[in-house]
Chains A and B, each alone.
Chain A
Amino acid sequence: NAGVMQNPRHLVRRRGQEARLRCSPMKGHSHVYWYRQLPEEGLKFMVYLQKENIIDESGMPKERFSAEFPKEGPSILRIQQVVRGDSAAYFCASSRPPVKGYQETQYFGPGTRLLVL
């Protein structure tokens, strides 16, 4: 049973370019979360999606960042016109839908390390 897959693992972009980060959840998981980890910091929540639906985007910057989780295919985190401050590790997590009234465990992928030159 493959875990959460993220690609690319490393991504280098010049200022002003676009970055596309992909996340394939574990089999049977329909919920996806994106987190960002800046150097020497903990992870910060960005967005929570279900298939074709954004549930919570309270952690997303208002501009240049967007996320989607289509009916088919991976979830995509898109950063337009990247700046040096976007350099970070971006982690995706997935979970099953909640059952029995309990929150399901979030399983994390290996992350995409974005470097903006």
Chain B
Amino acid sequence: AQSVTQLDSQVPVFEEAPVELRCNYSSSVSVYLFWYVQYPNQGLQLLLKYLSGSTLVKGINGFEAEFNKSQTSFHLRKPSVHISDTAEYFCAVSEGLGNEKLTFGTGTRLTIIP
């Protein structure tokens, strides 16, 4: 069975500062990895995904993430945050074809301080 751990439930960051949101996973097979963002009272929007290839993945809104197989991590980063980045961020994994369901972490609430 696969699982996802997001250790930081809340992360406050000053505007224009860098941020890293941590995500670790466990799985007995190769996985696909995703980061989604959820704004208040809205659905989830895909930020980026890792399926294969380059371990550094670039997404929307200036976010990027790096897949580290040896550390089973997929941390999300942004070099300079904006007020509009205030939201809940979810890391998710799936085992790919034949088992496409997503397993989510508990989320990290990113708060940008002006």
Partner-B contacts on A (CB < 8 A): 4, 6, 31, 33, 35, 41-45, 48, 56, 58-59, 91, 93, 95, 98, 101-103, 105-111
Chain B interface residue number, banded: 20 to 34
Partner of A42, one of B97, B101, B104: B104
Nearest CB of chain A from residue B32's CB, rounded to whole Å:
6
Tell me if A108 and B43 are in contact (CB < 8 A): yes
Chain B hits for A102, CB < 8 A = 51-52, 96-97
Chain A hits for B105, CB < 8 A = 42
Q: Closest residue of chain A to B96, judged by CB?
A: A103
Tell me if A108 and B104 are in contact (CB < 8 A): no
Q: Closest residue of chain B to A98, judged by CB?
A: B97
Interface string of B67-98 (1 = CB under 8 A from A): 00000000000000000000000101010110
Tell me if A43 and B104 are in contact (CB < 8 A): yes
Partner of A41, one of B46, B100, B106: B106
Chain B hits for A109, CB < 8 A = 43
Q: Does chain A have a CB within 8 A of B102? A: yes
Nearest CB of chain B from residue A11's CB, rounded to whole Å:
14
Tell me if B101 and A33 are in contact (CB < 8 A): yes
Q: How far is the CA of A31 from the CA of B44 in the complex (A)?
A: 17
Chain B hits for A44, CB < 8 A = 104
Tell me if A101 and B97 are in contact (CB < 8 A): yes
Chain A hits for B97, CB < 8 A = 98, 101-103
Tell me if B103 and A4 are in contact (CB < 8 A): no
Tell me if B101 and A45 are in contact (CB < 8 A): yes
- Selected A-B contacts with CB under 8 Å, 7 pairs: A6-B43, A31-B100, A41-B107, A43-B44, A43-B92, A44-B104, A102-B96
* CB-based closest 9 A-B pairs: A42-B104, A108-B43, A108-B44, A45-B101, A110-B43, A42-B106, A43-B104, A103-B96, A109-B43
